[in-house]
Amino acid sequence: MEKFLAYDADYVRKLCQIGVYDYVIVGSGFGGGILADQLVKQKKKVLLIERGGATFTTHLCNTARPDFARGTNNSVEGNETVYNTIKERVQTAEGSDPYVGGPVYCLGGRSSVWGLWIPRVNKASLDQYFPADVSHELQTYAYSRAFDLLTNYSQSEVYPIGDIHLNIKDLDEAKKNLTALLQPIIAPDEEVEIGPIATELNSPAVYRFPMGGYSTVTPLLNRIYARDQYLTVLMDTEVIQFDYDQPDAEGERQVKGLTVRTKGSGQVHWLNTAKATVILSAGTIGTPTIALNSGLQFINPLVGKGLMDHEIYYVRIDIERTDDDPTEPLNLQCVVKLGTELALLTVTINANFFLAGSSTIQTSQYWSADGHLLNPDHKALAEKKFDTIAILVQFGAELDDNNEVLGLPTPDPVIRVRRPISHNGLLQKEMQAVATDIRNGIVKDIIHPGFDFGEKGAGAPAARWHPFAEDVPSFTLLGFGVFSHETGTMRMKGPDNKPGVVDTNLKVDGFKDLYVCDLSVLPYSPPANPTLTLTALTLRLAENLLGENVEVR
């Protein structure tokens, strides 16, 4: 397969020299991969450069697929295992907080392991941190268009379209019950919703296979297999830097070419970009590394600065089942106000979700079917007959210019990062109280209907297996970079023309033909997974590049 997928770098160099390509895109994830597919659909010649290769042969109809049932030791798709195996090393400078993330160099990038959960960023955060026109477009149509793309038009207001095991009445009842529990803290103009996922679960016809979880690997591989004349994918090729002209009379520069290095042979090539527009989509760490190597920090001091990942807290609780049938999976979310801050609260029951099945994240509490708090070494745990409740709280985080990608000549990228822990003890207590109410409500209404907790919660202290344990579940802060949500290093201008690296159309200031399309452009680390927002911005960029008369979808 490697031989079939490979393109000759020297031949590509010659094609660049004669001006074959309209666009050169660096990176194949949610930004670069989607953008390449949209441009190729309109018969634009695209050179897509990916630092990694194809991780393994996937996307055949008879390849093993996830069954969307929670595993006992890991997410059933193996996201966690695969990500921890293929992510690349990132070094941290002295004084940094621990960093647990890392870029993914392979066809599809981050989209091959993360990004299936696609909530919108709430209106208040968009209006406060994003340019007004971008905020307006996201809220009016861009989010809906991106959602349709990521779900293959298979989902409506309640998804998926067609038969689902958990009927609409059950979903509405669950939403109503959670709404009642959260009513005091639900943010204005927000409501409890079903957690949206980038997945097509049902086949629209007998001989059409459902897409499953979205990844840019699918459209890119399909075009490679078809030998699409408009797309060249140069894999195992690292972009080191780019050259550009001196500014013209209008103060704008033009990219002249890219310096690339092929994996294995280590050969270095200079690709003449000629008339092509260049889009950097190498990620929040990769894109600024290329920009710093190219000297953009001397043009704009914000290049590479502002690196941030929002704080994500979790608690996981296992409730013993009375039979072999687990409770039906459920994933609900709501924007809430904790203290003075907005946060996205997610509640899952047996959902195929990282926190529900991770082997590296501990369960906070185990409860017996009759309401006793179990010691973690109790024999019932070995039988693994538990329903799992996972509660996730995501806060937003403003960019910090003391955090940065350092342009050091090291084999691995180097970052300096500190996370401001702004959520004090009082806020922790509020989160714990909310988690306790959710746990008790789910047990009483869904897992063990009619269960009586009494005044002291689930069981009296003397009846517990562990008499010193508290009822209240404790939240744990996940590490910086755990889900590859880092943002900010090539930020977009904010409201009121707040300084940035790219404009509202993602074009780099001071350049005619250089754009950025990845999470680095976000001017804020929002209280939500950023996949849907990046997809919406990518489609918006495609529309801008192609012209108003071209529909992107």
Residue 348 lies in a domain: yes
pLDDT-based confidence at 381, cuts 50/70/90?
low
User: What's the confidence (pLDDT) of residue 455?
Assistant: 45
User: What's the confidence (pLDDT) of residue 47?
Assistant: 98
User: What's the confidence (pLDDT) of residue 109?
Assistant: 94
Query: Percentage of the chain surpassing pLDDT 90?
Result: 57
489: nearest Cα among 413, 550, 381, 409: 413
Query: Percentage of the chain surpassing pLDDT 70?
Result: 85
User: What's the confidence (pLDDT) of residue 501?
Assistant: 98
User: What's the confidence (pLDDT) of residue 393?
Assistant: 95
Query: For 139-190, how does the pLDDT look when each residue is reduced to its tens digit (9 = 90+)?
Result: 999 999 999 999 988 876 545 555 555 566 677 888 888 999 899 999 998 9
Judgement on whether residues 367 and 455 belong to the same structural domain of the protein: yes
Determine how many CB atoms are found less than 10 A away from the CB of residue 20: 15
User: What's the confidence (pLDDT) of residue 56?
Assistant: 65
Judgement on whether residues 254 and 383 belong to the same structural domain of the protein: no
Residue 155 lies in a domain: no
Mean pLDDT of the chain: 86
Residues 6+ away with beta carbon under 8 Å from 513: 254, 255, 273, 276, 277, 278
Antiparallel, parallel or unpaired: β 365-367 and 386-395: unpaired
Judgement on whether residues 234 and 90 belong to the same structural domain of the protein: yes
Given a cut of 50, whether residue 311 has pLDDT beyond it is: yes
Judgement on whether residues 53 and 85 belong to the same structural domain of the protein: yes
Judgement on whether residues 281 and 375 belong to the same structural domain of the protein: no
Residue 333 lies in a domain: yes
356: nearest Cα among 69, 37, 15, 144: 69
pLDDT-based confidence at 74, cuts 50/70/90?
very low
Joined together, the tokens standing for residue 447 give 């897992």
User: What's the confidence (pLDDT) of residue 469?
Assistant: 38
User: What's the confidence (pLDDT) of residue 453?
Assistant: 54
pLDDT-based confidence at 63, cuts 50/70/90?
low
Query: What is the mean pLDDT of the segment spanning 191-219?
Result: 84
Judgement on whether residues 388 and 513 belong to the same structural domain of the protein: no
Query: What is the mean pLDDT of the segment spanning 198-212?
Result: 79
Please, is 447 exposed, middle or buried when counting C-beta atoms within 10 Å of its C-beta (0-12, 13-18, 19+)? buried
Residue 549 lies in a domain: no
Query: What is the mean pLDDT of the segment spanning 99-108?
Result: 94
Which residue would you say has higher pLDDT here, 265 or 538? 538
Given a cut of 90, whether residue 252 has pLDDT beyond it is: yes
Given a cut of 50, whether residue 464 has pLDDT beyond it is: no
pTM of the complete model: 0.92
Judgement on whether residues 323 and 289 belong to the same structural domain of the protein: no
* Burial 291-306, CB ≥16 within 10 A → b, else e: bbbbebbebbebbbbb
Residues 6+ away with beta carbon under 8 Å from 378: 366, 465
Residue 337 lies in a domain: yes
Residues 6+ away with beta carbon under 8 Å from 190: 122, 334, 335, 336
Among the residue ranges 102-106, 155-159, 328-332, 445-449, the one predicted with the least confidence is 155-159
Query: What is the mean pLDDT of the segment spanning 318-345?
Result: 86
User: What's the confidence (pLDDT) of residue 552?
Assistant: 84
Judgement on whether residues 177 and 252 belong to the same structural domain of the protein: no
Judgement on whether residues 28 and 91 belong to the same structural domain of the protein: yes
Number of domains in the chain: 2
Query: What is the mean pLDDT of the segment spanning 461-490?
Result: 72
Which residue would you say has higher pLDDT here, 88 or 385? 88
* CATH code (residue 86): 3.50.50.60
Judgement on whether residues 273 and 236 belong to the same structural domain of the protein: yes
Helix (H) or strand (E) holding 128: helix 123-129
Among the residue ranges 46-50, 58-62, 303-307, 460-464, the one predicted with the least confidence is 460-464
Joined together, the tokens standing for residue 381 give 């745990």
Q: Which of 196-205, 331-340, 505-514 has the highest mean pLDDT?
A: 505-514
pLDDT-based confidence at 433, cuts 50/70/90?
confident
Judgement on whether residues 345 and 239 belong to the same structural domain of the protein: no
Determine how many CB atoms are found less than 10 A away from the CB of residue 193: 16
Residue 153 lies in a domain: no
Query: What is the mean pLDDT of the segment spanning 7-18?
Result: 93
Mark which of 458, 477, 496 sits at the end of a domain. Answer: 477
Q: What Å distances lie between residue 482 and 79, 166, 311, CA to CA? A: 12, 31, 10
Query: What is the mean pLDDT of the segment spanning 30-36?
Result: 98
Antiparallel, parallel or unpaired: β 277-280 and 23-26: parallel
Determine how many CB atoms are found less than 10 A away from the CB of residue 515: 24
Given a cut of 60, whether residue 236 has pLDDT beyond it is: yes
Residue 61 lies in a domain: yes
Query: What is the mean pLDDT of the segment spanning 92-101?
Result: 95
Given a cut of 90, whether residue 438 has pLDDT beyond it is: no
Judgement on whether residues 178 and 318 belong to the same structural domain of the protein: yes
Query: What is the mean pLDDT of the segment spanning 507-532?
Result: 97
AA identity, residue 30: F
Domain hosting residue 5, numbered range:
1-116+212-308+481-524
Query: For 440-456, how does the pLDDT look when each residue is reduced to its tens digit (9 = 90+)?
Result: 888 777 666 766 555 44
Residue 50 lies in a domain: yes
